[in-house]
Amino acid sequence: MKENIIKFVNRTSELKALNNEYKKSGARFAVIYGRRRVGKTALISEFIKDKKSLYFYATSGADMADSLGKALANVLGLAYADKLKFDNFSDVFELLNTAKLDTKLIIAIDEFQNLALNDKNFASEFAKIYDTIIAKHNVFLIICGSVLSMLHSLALSYDAPLYGRRNLNLHIKSLGFMHIKEFLPSIDKATQMLVYSSFGTVPKYLQSYEQDKDFWQNITDNILNKSSYLYAEGQFLLNTEIYEPASYFAILEAISKGNSKIGSIASALGVNSTYLSRYLARLIELDLIRKEVPITETNPLKSKLGRYKISDNYLAFWFYYVYKNYSFLEIENTQAVIDEIRANFNDKFVSFCFEDAVREMIVNDPSLIGFKPQKIGRWWDNKSEIDLIAFDEQNICFIECKWQNNVNEQSVLNALQAKSAHLINGKKPSYKLFSKEWYLN
């Protein structure tokens, strides 16, 4: 059966940051943002559960000021709170001038961007409210949103009306591989890697996984099934953020197929590379893709070896297997898509996700390579590549990751030594192989 209880996992550093701000005197202001379903609301709920607080979920309805005002009046203990009427947000926050706050009050407004949908002047007016009212009281204001483009225009960009007022900025991202077992304690280690490579690590996506079914049945029922929300989640994410998504869909599909260099993406789409620059920059801003450069680059911003990768494993999986196969899935020919996934999933996805998982394992347990790395990541040039290189001031470790059993370890290590010889640069070298067999044992 599906797990209906919302789990709160990790977010230790985020909670610490929020609590540190909460303890400070006077008004505080935090912006929490991140893509849908990543766990922002769960974080807020965990933070406020033992504190005097108001949590308010904003919609685009016309009566939001009245709803927020009644809720705030109730939290402040004002008589006849439900009888009051609020026509604007200035009147709502004027309530703070009538209250004595011995304990800091948290006011958390979730999906804050919805308040601005019907009023282009809302952000400027809210900035004035913050300066003239909220900032004078013992209040911790938290605004939270999942439409990153709107949060940027309201609070995060340099020219945003609320820019410069926040004390804390939290970008909530997907969890790490290591947390899958906390959501899905019944699945074995091999299945954890398969889940990581398909469902990813967004909490809501993981909670859609049914532990009483095998992996392939979960893929069929919870991603390829037209009635499952993950079937259309990729489209929903982009349509929420981008008004004209066709070009962005094409770029993301090209990247999902292994076209990681700007030249290869352009070639796949039949366009000039310069045409792609603004689209790629936008996708990075929205946390849908990231640009990687070889880990040894001393000036990453000027590197000509950049590669683009879809940030979320689920979204990469969705573009490669779901989006391009809509013609099959819409007529419920699911088996054709399952056959394709079974044929190349390990090579196209799991092997690369295994590299990311190994990197995370090393960061969390440096004893795996014998020292705590200052940097760890992929390396490549125009002739060869190495799965991972980890190094500090004295040590450097060259790492190959093989999602295979019965690997000829000595042959792999010999090849690794040969292609890394020019990268040692006076450090003490070591060489490691992490295989599927190692992972499962």
| CA distances, 6 to each of 3, 199, 219 (Å) | 8, 17, 21
What is the Cα–Cα distance from 407 to 410, expressed in whole angstroms? 9
Please tell me the predicted confidence (pLDDT) of residue 71: 95
CA angle, corner 6, sides to 190 and 197, nearest 5? 25
Q: What are the residues facing 171 on neighbouring strands?
A: 33
Element (H, E) at 386: strand 385-391
Amino acid at 336: A
What is the Cα–Cα distance from 108 to 54, expressed in whole angstroms? 6
CA angle, corner 36, sides to 33 and 38, nearest 5? 75
Task: Please answer whether residues 186 and 180 qualify as being in contact, where contact means their C-beta atoms are separated by less than 8 angstroms.
Answer: no
| CA distances, 226 to each of 221, 233, 322, 325 (Å) | 9, 11, 10, 12
What is the Cα–Cα distance from 199 to 179, expressed in whole angstroms? 13
Amino acid at 38: V
Residue the block writes with tokens 């779901």: 322
Q: Give 3: exposed, middle or buried? Use CB within 10 Å, 0-12, 13-18, 19+.
A: middle
* Regions of the chain where pLDDT drops below 70: 1-9
Which residues have CB under 8 Å from 369's CB, separation 6+?
A: 362, 390, 397, 399, 430, 432
Q: Give 69: exposed, middle or buried? Use CB within 10 Å, 0-12, 13-18, 19+.
A: buried
What is the Cα–Cα distance from 316 to 94, expressed in whole angstroms? 47
| CA distances, 177 to each of 202, 206, 239, 249 (Å) | 10, 11, 28, 26
pLDDT digits (tens, 9 = 90+) for 141-164: 999 988 777 777 787 777 777 888
Please tell me the predicted confidence (pLDDT) of residue 9: 67
In the Cβ-directed half-sphere of 357, how many Cα atoms lie within 13 Å? 29
Please give the model's pTM, rounded to 2 decimal places.
0.86
Phi, psi of 321 (to 5 degrees): -110, -30
What is the Cα–Cα distance from 323 to 253, expressed in whole angstroms? 8
Please tell me the predicted confidence (pLDDT) of residue 8: 65
Q: What is the CA radius of gyration of the chain?
A: 25
Please tell me the predicted confidence (pLDDT) of residue 3: 41
Please tell me the predicted confidence (pLDDT) of residue 4: 43
pLDDT digits (tens, 9 = 90+) for 325-383: 999 999 999 999 999 999 999 999 999 999 999 999 999 999 999 999 999 999 999 89
Task: Please answer whether residues 84 and 73 qualify as being in contact, where contact means their C-beta atoms are separated by less than 8 angstroms.
Answer: yes
